[in-house]
Amino acid sequence: MSRLARWRGTVLTFSAALTAALALIAVIMLSLDKAPLAAAQRFIEGAIGTPSARADVIMAALPMLLCAAGLLLTFTAGLWNIGVEGQVTMGAIFATIIARTIPRDVSDWGIFAALIVPAELLLAMFGGALWAGLAALLKIRGGINEIFGGVALNFISVNILLSLVNGAWRVGTFPQTAPFAPAALLPRHPELRLSPLGIGIALAAFVAVFMALRGTRFGLQLRAIGRNARSAGILGVRVERNIFWAMVACGALAGLAGAFQALFTRGRLLPNISGGIGFMGVLIVLLTGVRAAWVLPVALFLATVPIGSLKLATSLDSAVQIDAALGNVFQGALVLAVLIGGGVRARLAARRKERSEHG
């Protein structure tokens, strides 16, 4: 099938799925006596209407983008890294190790003040990579399916997090750390609520993954493994080693996302710091059919949902006021519709092929 035809098919499927998901949301809203069209308008306004909203969307997209980029590597290799949520959490925890020790006044730190954030980010990457490496080893050495291992490690990471914010790292009556000092946070733009450094890092990571998949031996090997691990082995690829490093790389990026959550989005460490970011990454990759080029726009698109939903939730107009959770429903419905749409398309294409062979 020609490239253009394929592209057209993808757009068609996506549009159909989008329509279906929106229709579902509209039906739900109507049943609750809300006005879908007005809500849609308010949503769009709220998500991308003002500069501050746009900044919010961009910053919300960054952690998701990081996770999705990392997951591109593991999905390409045919792995289901469900443990990405735990890797985000561990990244946040590890970043906090440094962040919580930074005092308010660092004016006499001189050059070292500039090293704080890089150190936190590197440590966060290490934490996420460690957690992912653990899941990989459980799979490779112990034959433990990576989904089971991932889920188990997700829960364990939450336990570790809760233990820390309830005990050793708690400040005050609530289970959380103190807000981090400004020097520990991701440097922020003076007016808008966004972090150019953060954007730069996320984009760089995404581009790195993109290029790795396209242009490096590692990326090609992952693709071969994902398609047919046996043949890949025969062609000389070291399957287990590559799987391990794909997981570790994904964990590092997820850890970075966790650092962003702790050092920007929330400004401290508290329960549910991962906020479903990891799973969002999975959804993004599923939506794009593991195609790297689409990840950036899809991440931005999905990032508008929580921002816009929040505006709807806090609206004073009762005709459009609706809980932000509906936004999550929309995301899930969209991905499901895209998956089903893809499946239907494939089946129709197979039927057409059969008929032409036998007709």
Stretch that binds another protein, among 7-15, 223-231, 249-257, 258-266 (CB under 8 A): 223-231
Regarding 145 and contact with another protein (CB under 8 A), the answer is: yes
Regarding 52 and contact with another protein (CB under 8 A), the answer is: no
Residues 256, 221: Cα–Cα separation, whole Å:
25
Regarding 18 and contact with another protein (CB under 8 A), the answer is: no
CB of 178 to another protein, least distance (A): 17
CB of 355 to another protein, least distance (A): 10
Structure-block tokens of residue 314: 């806090």
Q: Which is nearer to another protein, 172 or 236 (CB)?
A: 236
Structure-block tokens of residue 111: 């050059």
Residue 203 is which amino acid? L
The DSSP H or E segment spanning 108 is none
CB of 344 to another protein, least distance (A): 6
Residues 260, 96: Cα–Cα separation, whole Å:
11
Residues 136, 150: Cα–Cα separation, whole Å:
9
Written as one string, the DSSP assignment of 287-356 is HTTS-HHHHHHHHHHHHHHHHHHHHHHT-S-TTT---THHHHHHHHHHHHHHHHHHHHHHHHHHHHHHHH
Sorted by sequence, the CB contacts under 8 Å of residue 281 that are 6+ apart come out as 64, 66, 67, 68, 70, 71, 84, 254, 257
CB of 224 to another protein, least distance (A): 5
User: Using CB under 8 A, which of 109, 126, 148, 210 touches another protein?
Assistant: 148
Site for another protein in 150-169 (CB under 8 A): 151-153, 155-156, 159-160, 162-164, 166-168
DSSP letter assigned to residue 263: I
Q: Which is nearer to another protein, 37 or 344 (CB)?
A: 344
Task: Tell me if 94 sits within 8 A of 135, measured CB to CB.
Answer: no
Structure-block tokens of residue 69: 């980029």
Q: Measured between alpha carbons, how far apart are the two ends of the chain, in Å?
A: 20
CB of 245 to another protein, least distance (A): 12
Regarding 354 and contact with another protein (CB under 8 A), the answer is: yes
**Gyration radius (Cα) of the chain, Å:** 22
User: Using CB under 8 A, which of 182, 196, 215, 297 touches another protein?
Assistant: 215
Regarding 210 and contact with another protein (CB under 8 A), the answer is: no
CB of 80 to another protein, least distance (A): 6
Regarding 283 and contact with another protein (CB under 8 A), the answer is: yes
Regarding 141 and contact with another protein (CB under 8 A), the answer is: yes
Stretch that binds another protein, among 100-108, 119-127, 232-240, 294-302 (CB under 8 A): 232-240
The number of residues that bind another protein (CB under 8 A) is 67
Stretch that binds another protein, among 65-73, 179-187, 255-263, 330-338 (CB under 8 A): 330-338
Regarding 41 and contact with another protein (CB under 8 A), the answer is: no
What angle in degrees, to the nearest 10, is found between the helix axes of 292-313 and 325-358? Answer: 140
Sorted by sequence, the CB contacts under 8 Å of residue 277 that are 6+ apart come out as 63, 64, 67, 85, 88, 257, 258, 261
Site for another protein in 58-117 (CB under 8 A): 80, 82
Residues 339, 22: Cα–Cα separation, whole Å:
16
User: Using CB under 8 A, which of 20, 192, 237, 300 touches another protein?
Assistant: 237
Residues that bind another protein (CB under 8 A): 28, 80, 82, 138, 141-145, 147-149, 151-153, 155-156, 159-160, 162-164, 166-168, 175, 215-218, 220-221, 223-224, 227-228, 230-238, 279, 282-283, 286, 323, 325-326, 328-329, 331-333, 335-336, 339-340, 342-344, 346-347, 354
